[in-house]
Amino acid sequence: MGGRVFLVFLAFCVWLTLPGAETQDSRGCARWCPQDSSCVNATACRCNPGFSSFSEIITTPMETCDDINECATLSKVSCGKFSDCWNTEGSYDCVCSPGYEPVSGAKTFKNESENTCQDVDECSSGQHQCDSSTVCFNTVGSYSCRCRPGWKPRHGIPNNQKDTVCEDMTFSTWTPPPGVHSQTLSRFFDKVQDLGRDYKPGLANNTIQSILQALDELLEAPGDLETLPRLQQHCVASHLLDGLEDVLRGLSKNLSNGLLNFSYPAGTELSLEVQKQVDRSVTLRQNQAVMQLDWNQAQKSGDPGPSVVGLVSIPGMGKLLAEAPLVLEPEKQMLLHETHQGLLQDGSPILLSDVISAFLSNNDTQNLSSPVTFTFSHREEDPVLTVITYMGLSVSLLCLLLAALTFLLCKAIQNTSTSLHLQLSLCLFLAHLLFLVAIDQTGHKVLCSIIAGTLHYLYLATLTWMLLEALYLFLTARNLTVVNYSSINRFMKKLMFPVGYGVPAVTVAISAASRPHLYGTPSRCWLQPEKGFIWGFLGPVCAIFSVNLVLFLVTLWILKNRLSSLNSEVSTLRNTRMLAFKATAQLFILGCTWCLGILQVGPAARVMAYLFTIINSLQGVFIFLVYCLLSQQVREQYGKWSKGIRKLKTESEMHTLSSSAKADTSKPSTVN
């Protein structure tokens, strides 16, 4: 202790000996007062407020005034809730804690009575660091970033943190089903993963369209998917439907509010509506389905984003679901068998409508507070159309049979033209007959394929004979002065049978060799529409109609010139007019009726279906009317046959009467 006092005394002596070290200023205050202090008198100093020293009164220059940390002494400072005390040099400030702000707007205050701290909504004010993959959620005094729907925290980073980093999971879970080996399917999922790597929320609309386009192309050309076992095909269909729902549900959350529709060449269509939470019902229509629900059912609990309701129509999925078993709860299965026993005993269920997939933002659809109503319609023919078809074809079969017998037995009209009529009638008769008795024989797949191939051949042969009819009519009109011009007959005789029966045979052979499995559908023994296979029939229809139209126009032009140059020779004029009538009727019968089938699209599809069914089923009637009843030679022959029949009937009756009379005269008389 003595040493310390000695050192202080020595320092004081040294200070006194320094030049200019006067002990007092003009006010009589000690000049040696330390920093942050003020003098009391000539020999004492006191620290300023906010500072303190070892002694309350400083009497030696060796003491210092140190800052007082008011924030460490809570009893002296009361900043209030949600605030912090910040020590300053000689004082302190109260500031609101992070995530809060003063009500008055001042940055600092001294006491809770001066100001109050309130929570800052960082999400609405933009004072947050959440990126585009996350959604900002305000919390008391802070905020959190949560991954958007369809995104997940990256590499184990916990969700609901300020520094949450999310990665898109919309595509990451949609990968090929395990155990299925298909190059076509692998290429599809490669496209999906490429879209996932390049995905950004602002590109949601384009990404949805790209995915649906890829799916549409996959189902239009399934490739090696068609060679998979049926069970694997069903697995692929279910996997595609489930994955598509999840992807569309996630992507749609980034779309603008409103109703959107997309459609693609092979028939895939999407209708969806995106809205914020609203208190109303919604009705969404897509092709053959209608969905009705309360909008609040679409919202997922705790999800502040917009709600999504969507319907996807996927006709091409039907081929992967062919022969799929109908899986129902036991009670419903029993009820179905009781009410439709006659329909279910014949084999597998038949898909009567497009495959429809529905999705909501709320994927917990097992516990909805109000029902969702679906209304479906199927593609089965109208019962009226079925009745018209069977009645029309039955009448046509009778007329075609009569026409064929006429062409065979009426020798007065037998020529090259009659031979063409006969072959046309026979082909159409066989085609209509096979259609009536076998078009629905789908129980045996091989038999159904044979029926479909035979119908394909017969209808193509019918079309080819129609083309030969138009060609012969054109050649006849060109050589009108000599109707039975020998060169025409020789040309047609050499041409008609090889072309009439050979060209259809080659076409069907090529089709059957390339895709034999596309003959026969689950509901009809006809050509399947996949991969454009149906154009094996529609192509010749369009080609023959186009050629017939050209021949018709040229024929009419020739006949017009011929009619204008004719004299008043009645027979020639009559023959020319008959040719003009036949040319017009032939174009109608032998072309237009088939083209109506191609026009069964859009709003006029139903009208076109009725026109096609009525006119096409009555083709045999038109042929009998034009080529038999309206032919003077045929009518004369009918008259001769009618007279012969009446004559035979009269002779038979006279023979019967004569026999009766002879029998009466030969009886012995009786004497009473």
Total-model pTM: 0.50
306 pLDDT exceeds 60?
yes
Q: Name which of 301, 650, 298, 347 is nearest 523 in CA terms.
A: 347
15 pLDDT exceeds 60?
no
239 pLDDT exceeds 60?
yes
- By the 10 Å C-beta count (0-12 exposed, 13-18 middle, 19+ buried), 373 is classed as exposed
- By the 10 Å C-beta count (0-12 exposed, 13-18 middle, 19+ buried), 536 is classed as buried
CA separation, residue 647 to residues 21, 404, 641, 654 (Å): 169, 25, 10, 10
Q: Name which of 148, 167, 171, 142 is nearest 157 in CA terms.
A: 167
Using pLDDT thresholds of 50, 70 and 90, give the confidence band for residue 599.
Answer: low
* Average pLDDT value for residue range 183-191: 92
CA separation, residue 529 to residues 320, 439, 579 (Å): 14, 16, 39
| DSSP letter assigned to residue 381 | P
Q: What's residue 209's pLDDT? A: 92
Q: What's residue 416's pLDDT? A: 83
Task: Locate the DSSP E strands across 248-389.
Answer: 258-263, 269-275, 281-286, 289-294, 307-314, 355-360, 373-376
Using pLDDT thresholds of 50, 70 and 90, give the confidence band for residue 208.
Answer: very high
Give residue-wise pLDDT tens across range 493-534: 888 899 999 999 999 999 999 888 888 876 788 888 766 788
Q: Name which of 187, 252, 249 is nearest 223 in CA terms.
A: 187
* Average pLDDT value for residue range 93-97: 89
Q: What's residue 6's pLDDT? A: 44
- Three-state SS for 521? coil
Asked if residues 590 and 615 have their Cβ atoms less than 8 Å apart, the reply is no
End-to-end CA distance of the chain: give it in Å, rounded.
194
Which helix (DSSP H) or strand (DSSP E) does residue 122 occupy?
Answer: helix 122-125
- Which of 94-98, 200-204, 562-566 is least confident? 562-566
* Average pLDDT value for residue range 603-625: 79
* Average pLDDT value for residue range 26-52: 82
* Average pLDDT value for residue range 82-93: 88
Q: What's residue 299's pLDDT? A: 75
602 pLDDT exceeds 60?
no
582 pLDDT exceeds 70?
no
Q: Which domains are present in the chain?
A: 72-119 (2.10.25.10), 170-325+347-376 (2.60.220), 384-637 (1.20.1070.10)
334 pLDDT exceeds 80?
no
Asked if residues 464 and 504 have their Cβ atoms less than 8 Å apart, the reply is yes
Give residue-wise pLDDT tens across range 353-409: 788 888 888 877 777 778 888 887 766 576 788 888 889 899 999 999 999 999 888
* Average pLDDT value for residue range 172-177: 81
Give residue-wise pLDDT tens across range 424-463: 999 999 999 999 998 888 778 789 899 999 999 999 999 8
> 513 is written with which tokens?
């060799």
313 pLDDT exceeds 70?
yes
DSSP result, 302-329: T--S-EEEEEEEEGGGGGTTTT------
Q: What's residue 494's pLDDT? A: 82
| Rounded-to-integer distance, Cα 24 and Cα 350, Å | 116
- Which of 76-90, 134-148, 285-299, 478-492 is least confident? 478-492
